[in-house]
Amino acid sequence: MMNRLTKLTLKAALLFLVTMQFSLADDGGKKTKKPNVLVILADDLGYNDVSFNGSKEIPTPNIDRIANEGVHFTNGYVSYAVCGPSRAGLITGRYQDRFGCGRNPLWAPNDINQGLALSEETIADVLGREGYKSMALGKWHLGAHEDLRPLNRGFDEFYGFLTGGHNYFPEELTLSDISKVTSQFHAYKTMMLHNNTRVKETEYVTDGLSREAAKFIENNSDEPFFMYLAYNAPHSPLQATQKYLDRFSHLEEGKRKTYCAMVSALDDGVGRVLETLEKEGIADNTIVIFLSDNGGPLKYKTDNGALREGKGSIYEGGIRVPFAMRWPNKIKAGTVYDEPVISLDIMGIAVAYANASPKNQIDGVNIVPYITGDKKGVPHDELRWRMFDKKHYAVRRGDIKYINKTNRKNGKVSQEYYDVKNDISEAKPLNLSASDKEDLQANYDSWVEQLLNPKYLGLGQDKKYTELHPNRYNTVVY
């Protein structure tokens, strides 16, 4: 007769075997695990500047792989038309005006209010509770104060820069710590930050970010991870190495040629990341999402195709972006999804498949069941945008888009309505019934009651902020 200790040992062994049975997959004995989540965010990329959206001028074979081997969203949006608020929405899964982040944060390392509100959780915070390792790379722009930096917002590792833009050539990264920054755009010259240490980058910054992304994947392929790869390309300053410029030798010298070269470098980086996933054997179980943070700025010769206007605009050119997702385990290659989706949905997807529970109610939706057809209907009844300082706002309901603009000089309000399915250029205003107009307005007004006014002065008030904070640049080293 077995003694009590032997029985307990056998029970433990049996439990272990059962656990192993459910934790081993059929593909070579690799452990099944929650999917990795990899967000690749371009900066100021034109809607028509990727091949999968029709570009004939800039080949983007690697970015195209994400769309062609997964799903291409033809109506993919971000939650704001410029980078800071758009990123705050993406990383939290919540409309950024819910927590007062409706302006582009300034470089103000002493100001804890200049950036993502501490009331908010990031995707890294939420997934971290489920055992995910996480890394943020590239452009942060969610606050330079120590408490607002990536390592204090759920990320285990960071390689990049804190401000809203950055120089690309390593020889121009001459500021060894933030105490040497003396103006808003002077911060573009800071050395790269690896966690809390300034490091000397030796490569073109886009290439350096791709290198570090590949390294993180290699070092963390055995456990679930979240990567936020926020390239600053092709955001200004327009800088490209000869290697990439030579690919466009047929173009005349100027902004467009340099811009094309920067997008090509970005595409190479995406290729390196995808190849690393393949090499590590985790591509099928990795959700890869590619998008831009807002529409392309027209002054830098970006191409938004048929979309009206560009960065900073409430029209489609400011908020509809290149958007694609690949997840071989779930999504059939060659899928095209035409219903409106938004960057907030990235959090919705991530938490659904990590079985995670955000502390705050999110606005994002798990759109995967809609893409696969397992769920009928549409992910969103309405999408909404508010640009507080411009006094512009918009609502998209189905195919109808409502735009309300106030002229800041004379206070005159104009209202416009478009069928953005059949009139992507917003060139043919509709004449809706009075009841439809009233309903759109009433729903928007109800939503606005849930929002906060911006909690900080933004990029448009740089001079005013400095006047109010004369010690703005008196900072400690790091």
Alpha helices in 123-251 (DSSP H): 123-128, 205-219, 242-245
C-alpha span between 310 and 183 (Å, rounded): 27
- To the query of whether residue 141 is one of the catalytic residues in this protein, the response is yes
**Burial of 432 from C-beta contacts in 10 A (0-12 / 13-18 / 19+):** middle
Of 72, 101, 141, 380, which is the active-site residue? 141
The owner of tokens 């195209």 is 64
CB 78 within 8 A of CB 342: yes
**Of residues 371, 376, 374, 413, the one with CA closest to residue 391:** 413
Q: How far apart are the first and last CA of the chain?
A: 67
CB 366 within 8 A of CB 349: yes
Beta bridge partners of 477: none
3-state secondary structure of 226: strand
Of 83, 101, 260, 380, which is the active-site residue? 83
- To the query of whether residue 101 is one of the catalytic residues in this protein, the response is no
Residues 6+ apart with CB under 8 A from 384: 95, 393, 394, 395, 396, 444, 447
CB 417 within 8 A of CB 400: yes
Alpha helices in 294-374 (DSSP H): 316-319, 345-353, 368-372
Which pair of tokens denotes residue 147? Answer: 């408490």
CB 186 within 8 A of CB 239: no
CB 381 within 8 A of CB 397: yes
CB 144 within 8 A of CB 114: yes
User: Which whole-number Å values give the CA distances from 58 to 116, 224, 358, in the listed order?
Assistant: 34, 34, 39
Angle, in degrees to the nearest 10, between helices 61-68 and 255-279:
50
- Give the DSSP H/E element, type plus range, for residue 88: helix 83-92
Which pair of tokens denotes residue 132? Answer: 């995910």
Catalytic positions: 83, 141
